[in-house]
Amino acid sequence: MELDQVSDVIRAGLTYERSRVEVASHNLAMANVALPPGVASPLQAAAMPSLFSQHLGLPKNELQATEARLHEVRLAHEPGHPLADMDGMVRYPKLDAAREMATLVSATRAYESNIRAYNSLRAMTLKAFEIGK
């Protein structure tokens, strides 16, 4: 494996972990935003890299919106809310805050480990250049 491929793998890992952090942050921010009737849940999920990034072809990691289902909405009884239905129920995205926080922690740690891998690769490259002088 060439050094360029190693740096590409590290870069793809950094991109993926950053997208996981962005998605978890977005989902936590949207947890208490009321949904108008008929509007899908705004929660997102990070696209999983497929087949080890197509055997290091490294496709672009993108964010995907999750499909809104009835069980992804939690109902709260708030009759005075402007978005309440006739029964006084307001729809909110259903979110597992503990899972999103765990995603934030694991993605942050993985991002940091990718940075350490990049710094190690850089240090080895610089040492190789020193040896070559």
**What are the tokens at 89?**
């129920």
| 126, burial (CB in 10 Å: exposed 0-12, middle 13-18, buried 19+) | exposed
Residue spans per domain, the chain: 3-132
What pLDDT was estimated at residue 50? 61
Across 10-46, b (16+ Cβ under 10 Å) vs e yields bebbbbbbbbbbebbeebeebbeeebeeeeebebbbb
> What's the chain's average pLDDT?
82
**What are the tokens at 12?**
């793809």
pLDDT tens-place string over residues 67-112:
444 457 889 999 999 999 999 999 999 888 999 999 999 999 999 9
The pTM (predicted TM-score) of the whole model is 0.75
What pLDDT was estimated at residue 62? 53
